């Protein structure tokens, strides 16, 4: 897993090459809404892109992480199906229902049942390299989502330059990223991570939590501002020295939200001595998001290394799938 994290910039380069070959087939009806369906490492790209294109895409985007799809999905919906293995049972069922309703389907997968269905029904398909843990392939899946959205006419092509800038940033900042990741690893060891981000980076914070769960084999939680100021902040009323709070911040965060962060920090600090900030780098939201993803991915694998555990192992998930297969 450590090697896969290290290769993230190269994966982004390969993903751009794959995306450039995609050809979108126009649908018979105008598209009026978008559903991105996928779970776990396969689905987090949908959450991230929905926030990045929030002020650009003219259509509503819904992120689906279940067996079932919303009632509104019909022949004027574009459904982007994301499953790295192509066998995620929730996503397979959601895809089958979307096909039955006449939706425009685009699949992003390495193969499996979803790849087979896409080929047999002549659906739009982007095939990405297989054989890796899904969570290690965000560079492939997120990049393809941008190419699909551009091909359908819902975003411009500026993301390509931003991806190139992101790759250069990660390579240029490699030493400083590893330094900060090592410091954050020491900060989190023996504690329960609490991740806070601003609205617009919920996907990034979710990704960090998921990587801590899967790679570091630890529980943690996350929330976003300003929403947490209307609920979770009230929960900070007792001493919790076992908690380690990390605030993911950017210089471009809305000024009123910046003020909320400063006030919230003073509350956290009353109840835990472990409060730290992590500042993004990059000139656009996409660049800053990718920077955060890479930095926090490093943290998750370095924690695993520090704990002397296998970051790749997900035995409990495999046990769950085995039990479900018997039903």
Which of 51, 90, 214, 287 is flagged as catalytic?
A: 214
Of 12, 69, 80, the closest CA to residue 46 belongs to: 80
Q: How many Cβ atoms from other residues are within 10 Å of residue 231's Cβ?
A: 9
Which of 3, 230, 251, 326 is flagged as catalytic?
A: 230
Q: Give the residue carrying structure tokens 């649908």.
A: 27
| DSSP H helical ranges for 189-273 | 202-214, 255-271
Tell me how far apart the alpha carbons of residues 289 and 287 are, in angstroms, rounded to a whole number.
5
Q: Is 230 a catalytic residue?
A: yes
DSSP code of 25?
Answer: P
Grouping H, G, I as helix, E, B as strand and the rest as coil, residue 222 is: strand
Cβ–Cβ under 8 Å, residues 116 and 85: no
Ramachandran category for residue 6: left, alpha or beta (phi over 0 → left; psi -120 to 50 → alpha): alpha
Cα angle 141, 147, 153; round to 5: 140
Cβ–Cβ under 8 Å, residues 32 and 62: no
Tell me how far apart the alpha carbons of residues 97 and 110 are, in angstroms, rounded to a whole number.
21
Cβ–Cβ under 8 Å, residues 276 and 187: yes
Write out the two tokens for 230: 């209307």
**Which residues are CB-contacts of 157 (< 8 A; sequence separation ≥ 6)?**
150
Dihedral sign (CA 195, 200, 204, 206): positive
Q: Is 214 a catalytic residue?
A: yes
Tell me how far apart the alpha carbons of residues 82 and 88 are, in angstroms, rounded to a whole number.
9
Tell me how far apart the alpha carbons of residues 265 and 276 are, in angstroms, rounded to a whole number.
9
Q: Give the residue carrying structure tokens 């400083």.
A: 176
List, by residue number, the catalytic residues.
Answer: 214, 230, 321
């Amino acid at each position: 897993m450590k090697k896969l994290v290290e290769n993230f910039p190269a994966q982004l380069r390969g993903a751009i090459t794959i995306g450039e070959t995609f050809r979108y087939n126009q649908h018979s009806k105008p598209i009026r809404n978008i559903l991105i369906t996928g779970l776990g490492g396969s689905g987090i790209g949908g959450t991230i892109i929905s926030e990045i294109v929030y002020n650009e895409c003219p259509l509503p985007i819904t992120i689906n992480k279940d067996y079932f799809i919303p009632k509104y999905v019909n022949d004027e919906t574009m459904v982007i199906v994301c499953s790295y293995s192509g066998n995620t049972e929730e996503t397979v069922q959601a895809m089958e229902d979307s096909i039955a309703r006449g939706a425009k389907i685009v699949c992003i997968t390495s193969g499996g049942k979803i790849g087979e269905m896409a080929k047999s029904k002549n659906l739009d398909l982007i095939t990405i390299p297989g054989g890796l843990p899904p969570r290690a392939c965000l560079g492939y899946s997120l990049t393809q989502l941008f190419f699909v959205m551009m091909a359908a006419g819902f975003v411009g092509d500026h993301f390509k330059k931003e991806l190139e800038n992101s790759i250069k940033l990660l390579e240029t900042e490699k030493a400083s990223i590893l330094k900060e990741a090592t410091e954050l690893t020491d900060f989190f060891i023996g504690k329960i991570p609490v991740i806070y981000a601003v609205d617009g980076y919920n996907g990034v914070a979710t990704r960090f939590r998921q990587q801590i769960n899967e790679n570091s084999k630890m529980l943690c939680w996350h929330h976003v501002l300003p929403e947490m100021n209307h609920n979770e902040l009230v929960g900070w009323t007792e001493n919790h020295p076992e908690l380690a709070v990390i605030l993911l911040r950017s210089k471009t965060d809305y000024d009123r939200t910046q003020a909320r962060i400063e006030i919230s920090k003073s509350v956290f600090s009353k109840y835990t001595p472990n409060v730290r900030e992590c500042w993004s780098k990059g000139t656009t939201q996409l660049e800053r998001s990718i920077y955060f993803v890479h930095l926090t991915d490093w943290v998750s694998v370095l924690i695993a290394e520090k704990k002397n555990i296998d970051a790749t192992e997900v035995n409990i998930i495999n046990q769950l799938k085995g039990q479900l297969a018997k039903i």
